[in-house]
Structure 1
Amino acid sequence: LTTNGTWHKTDNGSQFQQYKTKKCKGCSVREKCTKAKQNGKIVQRRKFAPNIEANRQRIENDKSTYKKRQAIVEHPYGTIKRQWGFSYIMTKKYIHRASADVGFMMTAYNLRRIINIIGIKHFKEYLKMRLTLLLTIFGLKNLNRGLLKGYYFQTIFRKVILEPVLKRLHLTHKLTFSGGF
C-alpha cells in the first residue's frame, strides 16, 4: 500500500491519508476484500494513528502502571463528568482553550476536595494567612517607592476587596449537592 502524501480532511476537521495499491486488480480474493468495481481497496489512516498504536503498545507492555493510573486519575474524572455534568468541553477550535476549560474543572475539583477534607473555616483561615503573606511581601517591595503607598494599598485592598470576598466565600448549590468524593 502506498500514499501520495496528501492529507484529506473530514467534516469535523480530523485529517487522514489514503493508501492504495494497483495489485488489487489481479488479486484472487479481491471479492472478499472490496466491492469496488474499478479500483482496489482504499485504506484510510488518521493523522494520529501511530500515536494511538504506540500508546496501546505501552499499555500492553506495562499493565500495572496503567492500572495504578486508572485508580488515581479516573475517580476525579468520573466525578467531574458524571456528578458535576461536565461530559464535554464547551470551548472549541484550539487545544489551549480546551486545556483552560479542563484546568478550571480540575481547580474546582481540587478546591472542593480541600474544603471537604479540612472544612470551609480552616480553608478561609488558610487563604487569609496566604494573602496576608503575599500582601506583606508586596508591601516590602513597595518600601523603596514610599512606605505610605505600600501600607495604603494593603489597607484598602484588605478592607474593600479581601474581607467582603472571604465573607461571601461559598460553593454553588450544584457543586455542594453532588455527594462528596
Structure 2
Amino acid sequence: MDEETTQRAVGAGRLYDWQPLDTVLDELGLAPDLTLTGPEAATVDWLHRTTPEAEIYFLASRADEPHTVTALFRQTGRRPELWHADSGLTELAPLWREVGGLTEVTLNFDGRGSHFVVFPTAAPDAALVSWASVERTGPPVTLPGEAARPPVELEIVSARYGVFPTTTDRADVTQRVQAMVADGQLAIAVN
C-alpha cells in the first residue's frame, strides 16, 4: 500500500496502513485498550498481555515526582487487582468503577513507580459493584450496641524551641504552635 491507500480487504478482515491507531480504532468503533488522564499521564508507559487467567496491564511512570493518574481500561465485569512486584502482595484496586463499558481505576504513582493492574477471568463476586475510598465528615460512626467515642483533642500546654538541655537560648513558641494546631496543622517543620 502507498500513502494514498489507507486500507484494503485481506481475507475476512481489513489491513490499515498510514493511519494513526486512534483513527483506526474510532473507525472500527473500538475504545482504546487503555486511556490515561491526569497532568502526568503522558509520562506513563504501558503494556497489555492476555493470558487464560487474566488481562494483565503493566504501567510504569517516568516522572520523578509522585502523581495520580486515572486509567480507563477496556474491561468490564471484572474486579481490578493491583499486584506489587516489589513485595509480591496483591490487593483489590482501592478506587475504581465501571463507566460506559470501561473500567476506571485511580492509580497513585511514586516517583518512577509502576503498577501491575490485573483483571482476573474468574467470575466476579456478583454482589460487588465497586470499591471506593470514603472520607467521614460527619459525626462518629458506631456499630450497634457500641457507645460513641468522644472526639480526640490535642492540647498544647507548652512549646519551647531551642538547644536542650541548656536552659538558655530557648524561645517560648506555645502560642504559635497552639494557633497552628487550632488551624488543623499536626505536622510542624522546625529548622
Q: Is TM more than 0.5 here?
A: no
Hey, which of these two has a bigger chunk of helix by percent?
1
| Higher strand residue share | 2
TM-score, structure 1 normalization: 0.23
TM-score, normalised to structure 2's length? Answer: 0.23
Query: Higher relative CO (CA 8 A, sep ≥ 6), structure 1 or 2?
Result: 2
